């Protein structure tokens, strides 16, 4: 039996919640599917804050310039303009909805992070900004009676009929059986794929399912080779790779090697405030130079009371593992953190598959280019989540589901073993190969070996989720092999310099060879194919 709704949103992070609110404001029925509890998403774990132009000494052109520099020549300038200009309005809206950003004397407190030219980062409860976003957006969403949120509903695949996405298959959390729900349109807000790597700051749910589902359904994905590694994740045996926020270096934290030497001066004149990709590679180089498995983040020059107030969650987490951030130097090393690539969309969240929209980390709008600027991710989810919701509602006013045939789909990912868990053996093999061969430093031989291994895994009898997982690894590895240069989050030791010839985006589609495009925005194609 199939359920029917007006719109389906997959994911309950900032992008999914904001898209749902936009849809519900039109009176539409919205069903939100999320594979864990409503609050479990990458948004929930975002510590660093949100970058926004609201302070008196800042302006949108400066924020845009910083974003373009970090993006290493691959940002879509129009996308960046939308982000920085509309971002201020949506943050003010969040404040009106009750989001509690940190203040002093009744005024918002702005901090600075790496590669920002101004103090423009807002925080909530010190280092719990993402959690506050989710809290306030869920509270706002609950005011909309037409929003139905289904937690623990693991989406298996997209339903495609007559060349259009019209719904999803998911595992009913109560009946533990597959179900179908059809709608005028689907909005993917499933987040990133950090769990592809052995070491990651991402939660267990960040397995990239949305990207893989869209790819199998026939949508294009772009720039999959660009993966951001956060420089400073807590590196202790028998402890999770807990993120030590960018803001710790923004407030004056110093990176030292195990001999106590401050080493960033060897690699970049911006020292600890260089872009993330540079800091991550510098840490790897220093670990290799000194034969160590980590470096040290030194916060001891800052006031203890300030650190406890500014980084309460980090302070308490480190204390659990016997570390006092005001007295001890913290062992850190890089970990996978963010995917710049994803489902190719235009500036309103339209994918190249009619009926399928997307917003947030699952997408590639061109806003981040080859390397995301710190604290732009929450802003992106907010701005483009709202835009995707508005576009989906407007585009599909007249569309009606008719002649839907249950159990039938043109989507090849709907065929096969319906089990949804990722095999432990598959997960271990993929994560290890991705970390060792498709990680911070890459070369042709390592990438070829990774691709061969992933193709062998993909040829076996896999569950749907295992197939999605290894397919995503293949997409990243193939794009990394294809791009014979170094740019942003993608670094090839055999092609260590950027090249003007490669100032293009990689585009991948099921059944086709990788091709290049000068622009991410597929609005011309999307506009032509979304006619109802």
Query: What residues are labeled active site?
Result: 276
505 neighbors 487 (Cβ within 8 angstroms): no
Closest CA to 6 of 271, 317, 400, 299: 400
How long, in residues, is the chain?
532
Residue 198 CB partners (closer than 8 Å, separation 6+) = 431, 432, 434, 435, 436
280 neighbors 231 (Cβ within 8 angstroms): yes
Closest CA to 121 of 231, 46, 18, 192: 46
Q: What are phi and psi of 36, to 5 degrees?
A: -130, -160
Distance from C-alpha of 119 to C-alpha of 53, rounded to nearest angstrom: 9
Sheet arrangement for strand 227-234: 227-234, 330-339, 295-298, 254-256
Q: Half-sphere exposure of residue 265, counting CA atoms within 13 Å on the CB side?
A: 4
Distance from C-alpha of 520 to C-alpha of 500, rounded to nearest angstrom: 17
Distance from C-alpha of 327 to C-alpha of 403, rounded to nearest angstrom: 67
Closest CA to 124 of 84, 149, 94: 94
Closest CA to 412 of 222, 214, 210: 214
Strands 342-344 and 363-364: parallel
Strand segments, DSSP code E, in 283-353 are 295-298, 330-339, 342-344
Angle at CA of residue 254, ends 251 and 259, nearest 5°: 165
Distance from C-alpha of 387 to C-alpha of 79, rounded to nearest angstrom: 12
* Residues 1-11 as b or e (16 or more Cβ within 10 Å = b): eebebbbbbbb
148 neighbors 31 (Cβ within 8 angstroms): yes
């Amino acid at each position: 039996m199939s359920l029917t709704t007006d719109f389906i949103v997959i994911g309950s992070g900032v992008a999914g919640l904001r898209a749902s609110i936009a849809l519900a404001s039109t009176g539409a029925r919205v069903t939100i599917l999320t594979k864990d509890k409503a609050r479990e998403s990458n948004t929930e774990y975002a510590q660093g804050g949100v970058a926004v132009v609201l302070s008196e000494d800042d302006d949108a052109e400066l924020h845009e310039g910083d974003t373009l520099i970090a993006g290493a020549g691959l940002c879509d300038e129009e996308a960046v303009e939308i982000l920085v200009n509309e971002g201020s309005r949506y943050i003010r809206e969040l404040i009106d909805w009750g989001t509690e950003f940190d203040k002093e004397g009744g005024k918002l407190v702005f901090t600075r992070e790496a590669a920002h030219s101004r103090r423009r980062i807002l925080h909530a409860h010190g280092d719990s900004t993402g959690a506050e976003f989710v809290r306030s957006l869920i509270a706002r969403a609950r005011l909309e009676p037409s929003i139905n949120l289904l937690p623990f509903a693991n989406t298996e695949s997209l339903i495609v009929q007559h060349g259009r996405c019209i719904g999803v298959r998911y595992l009913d959390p109560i009946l533990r059986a597959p179900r179908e729900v059809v709608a005028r349109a689907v909005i993917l807000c499933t987040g990133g794929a950090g769990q592809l790597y052995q070491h990651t700051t991402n939660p267990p749910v960040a397995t990239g399912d949305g990207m893989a589902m869209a790819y199998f359904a026939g949508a294009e994905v772009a720039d999959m080779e660009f993966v951001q590694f956060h420089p400073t994740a807590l590196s202790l045996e028998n402890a999770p790779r807990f993120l030590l926020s960018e803001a710790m270096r923004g407030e004056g934290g110093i990176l030292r090697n195990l001999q106590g030497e401050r080493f960033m001066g060897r690699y970049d004149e911006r020292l600890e405030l260089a872009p993330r990709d540079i800091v991550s590679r510098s840490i790897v180089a220093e670990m290799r130079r000194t034969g160590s498995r980590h470096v040290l983040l030194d916060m001891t020059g800052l006031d203890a009371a300030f650190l406890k107030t500014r980084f309460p969650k980090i302070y308490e987490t480190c204390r659990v593992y016997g570390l006092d951030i005001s007295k001890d130097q913290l062992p850190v090393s890089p970990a996978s953190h963010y995917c710049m690539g994803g489902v190719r969309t235009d500036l309103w969240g339209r994918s190249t598959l009619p009926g399928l929209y997307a917003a947030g980390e699952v997408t590639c709008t061109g806003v981040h280019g080859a390397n995301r600027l710190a604290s732009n991710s929450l802003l992106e989810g907010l701005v483009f989540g709202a835009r995707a919701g508005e576009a989906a509602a407007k585009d599909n006013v007249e569309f009606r589901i008719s002649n839907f045939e249950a159990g039938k789909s043109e989507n090849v990912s709907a065929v096969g073993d319906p089990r949804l868990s990722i095999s432990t053996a598959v997960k271990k093999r993929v994560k290890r190969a991705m970390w060792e061969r498709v990680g911070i430093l890459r070369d042709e031989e390592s990438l070829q070996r990774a691709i061969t291994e992933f193709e062998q895994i993909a040829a076996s009898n896999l569950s749907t989720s295992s197939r999605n997982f290894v397919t995503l690894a293949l997409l990243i590895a193939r794009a990394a092999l294809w791009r014979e240069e170094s740019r942003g989050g993608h670094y090839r030791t055999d092609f260590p310099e950027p090249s003007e010839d490669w100032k293009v985006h990689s585009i991948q589609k099921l059944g086709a060879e990788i091709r290049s495009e000068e622009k991410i925005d597929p609005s011309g194609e999307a506009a032509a194919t979304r006619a109802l």
